[in-house]
Amino acid sequence: MLRRTLAAAALLAAASLVAEDGQFEKTIKFPRNPTTLDFTARKCTIRSVIVRNFPDAEDVEKARAFDPKDMSWLWWEFEVDNRGPEKLKIKLFVEVLDKGGQTVKTGDRSVTIDGFESDEYRVSTRMRTLDAADSPKVRIRAQIVPK
């Protein structure tokens, strides 16, 4: 029982260190609808992410039948809200994962957000249409640090 309590305390401490450090990571289903992240540090919150320009069924069908190397541009749109006065730097990372959990595509971007500002930021990735269609999960990482 004592081991379980100590293990739980260690996990809570590690989670709070990550939040205090401003580094976050979460693996989610491919976000075709807005997906809540709620990564918060220094009064700044990365609220959600959604993928834009996801290939439609017709594009996927064409790629499967005629051109497996067809490429698509995807935009990962992050909703960010800074409720504090401090100007912050945010680093956003997207890793698309295949069914086996291996990374098939990555994208990243660094942005600066002023105090008391809300905005949306995009990370773009150009990837094979079939990889986008067949990848079930995405790993989202972020870091929020003072500017």
CA distance 57 to 18: 39
Predicted model pTM = 0.84
- Is it the case that residue 11 has pLDDT exceeding 60? no
CA 101 to CA 53: how far, in whole Å?
A: 23
Residue 82 lies in a domain: yes
**3 state SS of 56:** coil
Residue by residue, DSSP assigns 108-143 as EEEEEE-TTEEEEEEEEEEEEHHHHHH--EEEEEEE
Residue 21: pLDDT band (50, 70, 90) is: confident
Is 16 among the domain residues? no
Q: What is the number of structural domains in the chain? A: 1
Q: Considering the domain boundaries, does residue 65 fall inside one?
A: yes
Q: Tell me the CATH number at 63.
A: 2.60.40.10
Angle (nearest 5°) at CA 90 between 88 and 96: 170
pLDDT on residue 3: 52
- What is the residue-averaged pLDDT of the chain? 90
Q: Domain of residue 129: give its range.
A: 23-146
- C-alpha 76/C-alpha 127 separation (Å) is 13
Q: Is residue 80 situated within a structural domain?
A: yes
Q: Mean pLDDT lowest for which of 11-20, 48-57, 82-91, 125-134?
A: 11-20
Question: Is residue 12 a part of any domain in this protein?
Answer: no
pLDDT tens, residue by residue, 24-56? 999 999 999 999 999 999 999 999 999 999 999
Burial of 147 (0-12, 13-18, 19+ CB in 10 A): exposed
Task: Answer yes or no: is pLDDT of 78 > 80.
Answer: yes
Average pLDDT of span 118-141: 98
